[in-house]
């Protein structure tokens, strides 16, 4: 039984909710070193097909994409709505999924509703102040009650005592938490935030003792939390009117305009919560003039997202077309070469349905192919072993592809006609029987090779798959050449 604050942090981190700590650490650890981190971010997200689909849904929502630019890949999402936004969406979904799947107690759903409402209100305040990182304010507000939500996911003697105390006259949340737990839920959230590297802004808001002395961004968060709490008492209640007056002074706009904006933000919060998969929380966000039963009826979506039994990507011709369209569209923006490769690899993985895909750069000096980017399922061994030497003395299929600038579909590695030494080399390096190689040709030179296989699933590669892979490589070359010539 956890006794101290440190005990609870360890239990939540190590024993009870380990799944999303890994995702959070992987995503939160990526800093904005764009060329590398953007592709690493895509790689982390694409390991989970359900997470990928939900991030794309959110990226295409009006809240994040008011211009309605169609976004089909995670790499495109990074380009169009920003690295930080995609990273923060992934972090938020990891938290929400873990809490909902672990337990759907009413306390957690209610806290989640308040969190979404506060997050949208805080982001709006940040945007009114011209904050270039308003999404960071959104995330800090969304995670403000995270420690408390995680606590209620765990059955304990302390949680039973807290429930009993809630019904007592003169109940004070902070006082009772301190008496029973020895700490407040804010302290738990702060410690988890530091332990999991969830951001200094969140810790700053949690540790604040006087809102009047708080920094501007911290005030956005604290005011939005109070608004989301008091709005539950009614938008016309004296408590809500009092906090609207404070926000009006904070924003330096009229109380009337403040209230109108706040109500509009509450409506947006319902949509945001639904897009994040927290539909039961969306129902509890107070929106004036919305009939409670109609709102419930409009939001009959299961909180638990459907998890596909098969994790392997299936061929999706529509997605292939969308990715190729994205590729031609971004050429006009003269993107970084790494962005192009990221989009294409995602097209090969999710669109063509290849289990593992990589792009290896050809070094003219060492005559070696080295992995630059890799995506897919069960890629660790392939990533570790893939170190291909080419050249006149290396009679392998890789050398053949580079020398002739032609694609190859190896249907059976034992029958490719390059000799026993070549077969042994391939089997030692990639341990696979069937794969596709497509050269990337820029300015009439092979600069790298795309590799694709379905080894983890054991599914067959078809002629249509081969043609699709070849087409992607060709279109990548056209796009890269167009950018090269324009420079």
Confidence at residue 298, expressed as pLDDT on a 0 to 100 scale: 39
Confidence at residue 462, expressed as pLDDT on a 0 to 100 scale: 94
Whole-structure pTM over 0.95, yes or no?
no
Confidence at residue 149, expressed as pLDDT on a 0 to 100 scale: 85
pLDDT (tens digit per residue) in 69-95: 888 888 888 888 888 788 878 877 877
CB atoms near residue 390 (< 10 Å): 22
Q: Which residues, in sequence order, are CB contacts of 203 under 8 Å at separation 6+?
A: 190, 193, 194
Among 317, 345, 244, 334, CA closest to 38:
345
In the chain the first and final C-alpha atoms are separated, in Å, by 64
CB atoms near residue 221 (< 10 Å): 30
Low-confidence ranges of the chain (pLDDT < 50): 15-16, 18-20, 32-35, 104, 291-310, 419-421
Confidence at residue 18, expressed as pLDDT on a 0 to 100 scale: 45
Name the β-bridge partners of 375: 357
Confidence at residue 69, expressed as pLDDT on a 0 to 100 scale: 80
Confidence at residue 387, expressed as pLDDT on a 0 to 100 scale: 77
Structural element, H or E, at residue 389: strand 387-389
| 387: helix, strand or coil | strand
**Gap between the Cα atoms of 48 and 386, Å rounded:** 24
**What residue has token string 């897009």?**
275
Confidence at residue 296, expressed as pLDDT on a 0 to 100 scale: 40
Confidence at residue 305, expressed as pLDDT on a 0 to 100 scale: 33
Q: List, in order of start, the domains of the chain with CATH numbers.
A: 5-298 (1.10.3210.10), 317-486 (3.30.450.40)
Q: How far is residue 125 CA from its own chain's centroid?
A: 24
Confidence at residue 309, expressed as pLDDT on a 0 to 100 scale: 38
Number of H-type helices and E-type strands within the chain: 24, 6
Q: What angle do CA 395, 396, 401 make, to 5 degrees?
A: 110
């Amino acid at each position: 039984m956890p006794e101290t604050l440190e005990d609870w942090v360890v239990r939540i981190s190590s024993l009870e909710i380990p799944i999303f700590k890994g995702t959070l650490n992987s995503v939160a650890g990526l800093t904005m070193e764009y060329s590398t981190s953007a592709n690493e971010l895509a790689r982390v997200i694409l390991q989970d097909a359900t997470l990928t689909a939900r991030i794309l849904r959110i990226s295409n929502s009006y809240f994040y994409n008011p211009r309605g630019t169609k976004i089909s890949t995670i790499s495109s999402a990074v380009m169009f709505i920003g690295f930080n936004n995609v990273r923060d969406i992934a972090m938020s979904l990891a938290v929400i999924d873990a809490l909902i799947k672990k337990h759907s107690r009413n306390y957690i759903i209610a806290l989640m509703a308040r969190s979404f409402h506060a997050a949208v209100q805080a982001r709006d305040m940040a945007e009114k102040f011209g904050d270039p990182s308003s999404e960071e304010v959104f995330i800090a507000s969304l995670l403000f009650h995270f420690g408390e939500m995680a606590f209620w996911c765990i059955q304990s003697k302390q949680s039973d005592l807290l429930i009993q105390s809630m019904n007592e006259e003169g109940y004070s949340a902070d006082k009772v938490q301190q008496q029973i737990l020895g700490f407040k839920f804010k302290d738990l959230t702060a410690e988890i935030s530091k332990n999991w590297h969830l951001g200094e802004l969140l810790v700053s808001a949690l540790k604040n003792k006087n809102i009047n002395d708080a920094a501007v961004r911290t005030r956005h968060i604290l005011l939005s939390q109070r608004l989301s709490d008091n709005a539950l008492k009614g938008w016309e209640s004296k408590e809500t009117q009092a906090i609207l007056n404070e926000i009006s002074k904070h924003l330096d706009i009229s109380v009337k305009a403040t209230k109108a904006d706040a109500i509009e933000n509450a409506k947006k919060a319902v949509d945001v919560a639904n897009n994040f998969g927290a539909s039961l929380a969306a129902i509890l966000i107070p929106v004036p003039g919305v009939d409670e039963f109609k709102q419930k009826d409009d939001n009959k979506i299961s909180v638990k997202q459907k998890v596909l039994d098969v994790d392997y990507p299936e061929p999706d011709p529509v997605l292939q077309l969308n990715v190729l369209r994205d590729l031609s569209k971004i050429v006009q923006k003269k993107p970084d070469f790494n962005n192009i490769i990221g989009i294409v690899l995602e097209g090969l993985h999710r669109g063509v349905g290849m289990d593992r895909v990589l792009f290896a750069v050809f070094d003219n000096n060492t005559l070696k192919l080295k992995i630059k980017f890799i995506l897919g399922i069960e890629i660790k061994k392939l990533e570790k072993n893939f170190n291909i030497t080419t050249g006149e003395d290396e009679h392998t299929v890789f050398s053949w592809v580079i020398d002739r600038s032609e694609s190859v579909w190896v249907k059976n590695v034992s029958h490719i006609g390059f000799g026993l030494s070549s077969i042994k080399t391939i089997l030692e390096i990639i341990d696979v029987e069937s794969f596709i190689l497509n050269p990337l040709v820029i300015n009439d030179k092979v600069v790298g090779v795309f590799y694709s296989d379905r080894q983890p699933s054991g599914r067959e590669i078809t002629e249509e798959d081969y043609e699709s892979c070849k087409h992607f490589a060709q279109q990548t070359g056209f796009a890269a050449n167009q950018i090269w010539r324009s420079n």
